[in-house]
């Protein structure tokens, strides 16, 4: 490892993303990326009796799938880093309680997946672990129930609202392997620009994304053109526009090669998700399904993946607080 | 770093615990360890308008205190690992949003403090970071409101219930320094023995503690006598007894040098806390206040600190789920 600039670290013995898996729900299965997912589940309940149990099953089955695809026995996986959006991260802890692998629960809201990649890379590059498992999940119904209103109320959603992705993405990072490699990590700081609208998360999280993206470019000396693709996790249409405009005003032109996983996962015309997808599983499933395949096929050779999280809950909203955001970035290259 | 046994890692360039700080609430200020805390706050609200904002202020002021005591400018602290018990870890993210240090939110329930020490040690030993900040908080009133009943209801608490510690503990880990050192880490697995009583957390978490303690002894070849003191985080009186009995049945005698931070922090006779203290701040404040002082004074030279967490919430309890536990351990030596 070598520190680069203020806040970025170059992984000297690049960490291989050995394998990925993702399982998604019915809405995602009707979207443009459906063919890239390992499994599309047609039942929001996934055969369980509650939304929370369904979400736990999504992460459990996704993790079982990635372990099975990797061919690495779970006894050779040294640690698991996982988290989700539910109170006390119960999707991960219940879904993964039979895993029998040392477990680090993490919470970065929708930035959780990239947070897990960063912490996992530190553990592998730091010579602690041979193989680690990184995973995150979210569920539209459990998230609506917990953060906004139970679906049964039939509340209207404003145009700035995003649609929480139902599903899970997971990957195995390894000391040995032939890539794609995690080559740089830029962990983010908490950024709070005072936005208070819990139905406009893209706007609330965009300042953190901008901070981390610009920090990454300054630290590495790279320009946006260095990457074949730059992807934020779940800023949606509104957040994406803010990122393009604000980075442009700072001298970085992202227009040619930047997109957002929340924009990619749903069809704007046919699937009425308003401002696009969100949730831990948005970045996790789009990366683990879509982007990882493109990296393996060498259609993408260098990407910057930035997941953003809104570090808020319904209590803080009700108490009149603003919404702090955070964004973590990793460079992935072949 | 060197892997020792299955699940333990020896830190080859030992990580120094450079400085600690802790601030506690009124109940803790009336307990036997009061003189060891940096600040005892007489107002449960800490001058704020809600329990959640009060808890955020506890962690904010504690982190400010440890940075100030350490003499290290915050610009030289490379990362912060923090978490708490509140939904979406809002105490940490709101309390630390002005910190301007790359932030990793973690969730290990009451095991959070030791989880932060483990992840922080990996970051420092792995040569990523020079200095990192680890912190955790909890608050009796916000925890009762969120996990059980609002205090205004005046509910009775059963004798197995524990009292969530109000306060926060924080420390700075550094590559340079003359100890006390973190010398071994044993991250834990999720263990669920099927206990469902949300008012008997000590019993629910004890199996995870036993699993991690015995794993640590097997991995290192050490016996309980190696340590001057073995401390669990917040098992309280009931969990402590279970640990002593169950480890004895496996051939490990902990009777002479084992205690629990939840037993130490309150006076059993004078302070009616039933089964003792609990919460992220229990282990965090007893370590950062009491145990760290004893290590600095060489009254303790080798300790094993094991923090336990119940990975549950009120939704899972209401859905009839059992309570998965986890326990993370670190050896600290001078």
- Taking the Cβ of residue A196 and every Cβ of chain B, the question of whether any pair is shorter than 8 Å is answered with no
Q: Give pLDDT tens digits for B171-186.
A: 999 999 999 999 999 9
For A92, the closest chain B residue by CA position comes to B311
A175-179, B156-160, B290-294 — which one is most confidently predicted on average?
A: B290-294
pLDDT of residue A23: 98
CA distance B189 to B327: 7
CA distance A164 to A276: 9
Q: Express as a percent the part of chain B with pLDDT over 90.
A: 96
Task: State the smallest CA–CA distance between residue B318 and chain A in angstroms.
Answer: 11
The stretch A238-265 carries a mean pLDDT of: 98
Average pLDDT, chain A: 97
Size of interface A-B (CB pairs under 8 A): 168
- Alpha carbons within 13 A on the beta-carbon side of A105: 41
If pLDDT is split at 50, 70 and 90, which confidence band does B9 have?
A: very high
Residue A14 has pLDDT above 80, yes or no: yes
Contact A123 B127 (CB under 8 A): no
- Contact at 8 Å (CB) between B160 and B241? no
Phi and psi angles of residue A296, each rounded to the nearest 5 degrees, phi first? -60, -40
Residues of B in contact with A99 (CB under 8 A): 189-190
Q: Give pLDDT tens digits for B267-279.
A: 999 998 999 999 9
Q: Express as a percent the part of chain A with pLDDT over 90.
A: 96
Q: Express as a percent the part of chain B with pLDDT over 70.
A: 100
pLDDT of residue A267: 97
The stretch B101-111 carries a mean pLDDT of: 98
The stretch B59-68 carries a mean pLDDT of: 98
Among the partner-chain residues B85, B90, B122, the one whose CB lies closest to the CB of A122 is: B122
- Omega prior to A220 cis, within 30 of 0: no
Q: What is the DSSP string of A232-298?
A: ESS-HHHHHHHHHHHHHHTT---TTTEEEHHHHSS-TTTS--TT-EESHHHHHHIIIIIIHHHHHTT
pLDDT of residue A1: 77
The stretch B284-295 carries a mean pLDDT of: 98
Residues of A in contact with B79 (CB under 8 A): 187
Q: Quick one: chain A helix, strand, coil %, rounded to 5?
A: 40, 25, 35
For B187, the closest chain A residue by CA position comes to A102
The stretch B62-85 carries a mean pLDDT of: 98
Phi and psi angles of residue A47, each rounded to the nearest 5 degrees, phi first? 75, 5
Q: How many CB atoms lie within 10 A of CB B54?
A: 23
State whether residue A191 is helix, strand or coil: strand
State which H helix or E strand residue A70 sits in: helix A51-70
Q: Give pLDDT tens digits for A194-235.
A: 999 988 999 999 999 999 999 999 999 999 999 999 999 999
If pLDDT is split at 50, 70 and 90, which confidence band does B326 have?
A: very high
State which H helix or E strand residue B119 sits in: helix B112-125
If pLDDT is split at 50, 70 and 90, which confidence band does A52 have?
A: very high
pLDDT of residue B174: 98
If pLDDT is split at 50, 70 and 90, which confidence band does B198 have?
A: confident
Average pLDDT, chain B: 97
Under DSSP, the state recorded for B176 is: S
Give strand pairing partners of A17: A173
Contact B97 A128 (CB under 8 A): no
Among the partner-chain residues B102, B125, B190, the one whose CB lies closest to the CB of A97 is: B190
pLDDT of residue B222: 98
CA distance A30 to B18: 54
Q: Left, alpha or beta for A113 (phi > 0: left; psi -120 to 50: alpha)? A: alpha
Residue B1 has pLDDT above 80, yes or no: no
pLDDT of residue B66: 98
Copy the structure tokens of residue A76: 């050779």
Calculate Rg over the CA atoms of chain A.
18
- Alpha carbons within 13 A on the beta-carbon side of B48: 19
Among the partner-chain residues A83, A125, A324, the one whose CB lies closest to the CB of B94 is: A324
- Taking the Cβ of residue B103 and every Cβ of chain A, the question of whether any pair is shorter than 8 Å is answered with yes
- Contact at 8 Å (CB) between A210 and A243? yes
Asked if the interface predicted TM-score (ipTM) of this complex is over 0.90, the answer is yes
Chain A 288-327, residues with CB within 8 Å of chain B CB atoms: 311-316, 319, 321, 324, 326
Q: Give pLDDT tens digits for A184-197.
A: 999 999 999 999 99
Mutation pick from A103, A211, A324, A330 vs chain B, by most beta carbons of B within 10 Å, is: A103
Q: How many CB atoms lie within 10 A of CB B64?
A: 18
pLDDT of residue B14: 86
Buried b (16+ CB within 10 A) or exposed e, A46-77: bebebbbbbbbbbbbbbbbbbbeebebebeeb
CA distance A306 to B325: 32
């Amino acid at each position: 490892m070598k520190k680069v600039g203020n806040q970025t670290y170059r992984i000297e013995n690049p960490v291989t993303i050995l394998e990925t898996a993702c399982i998604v729900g019915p809405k995602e299965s009707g979207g443009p990326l459906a063919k890239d997912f390992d499994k599309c589940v047609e039942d929001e309940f996934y055969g369980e009796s509650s939304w929370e149990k369904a979400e736990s099953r999504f992460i459990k089955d996704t993790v079982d799938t990635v372990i099975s695809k990797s061919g690495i026995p779970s006894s050779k996986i040294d640690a698991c880093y996982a988290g989700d959006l539910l109170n006390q991260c119960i999707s991960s802890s219940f879904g993964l309680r039979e895993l029998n692998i040392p477990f680090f629960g993490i919470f970065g809201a929708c930035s959780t997946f990239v947070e897990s990649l960063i912490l996992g890379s530190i553990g592998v590059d730091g010579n602690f672990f041979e193989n680690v498992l990184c995973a995150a999940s979210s569920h539209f119904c459990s998230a609506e129930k917990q953060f906004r209103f139970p679906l049964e109320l039939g509340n209207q959603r404003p145009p700035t609202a995003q649609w929480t992705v139902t599903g899970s993405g997971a990957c195995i990072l390894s000391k040995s392997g032939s890539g794609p490699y995690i080559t740089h990590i830029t962990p983010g700081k908490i950024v709070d620009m005072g936005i208070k609208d819990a139905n406009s998360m893209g706007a609330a999280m965009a300042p953190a994304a901008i901070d981390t993206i610009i920090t990454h470019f300054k630290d590495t000396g790279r320009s946006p053109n260095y990457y074949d693709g730059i992807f934020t996790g779940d800023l949606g249409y509104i957040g994406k526009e803010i990122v393009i405009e604000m980075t442009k005003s700072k001298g970085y032109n992202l227009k040619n090669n930047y997109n957002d996983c929340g924009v990619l996962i749903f069809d704007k015309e046919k699937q009425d998700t308003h401002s696009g997808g969100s949730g831990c599983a948005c970045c996790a499933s789009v990366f683990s399904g879509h982007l990882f395949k493109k990296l393996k096929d060498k259609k993408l050779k260098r990407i910057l993946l930035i997941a953003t999280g809104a570090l808020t809950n319904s209590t803080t909203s009700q108490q009149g607080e603003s919404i702090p955001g955070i964004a973590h970035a990793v460079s992935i290259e072949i």
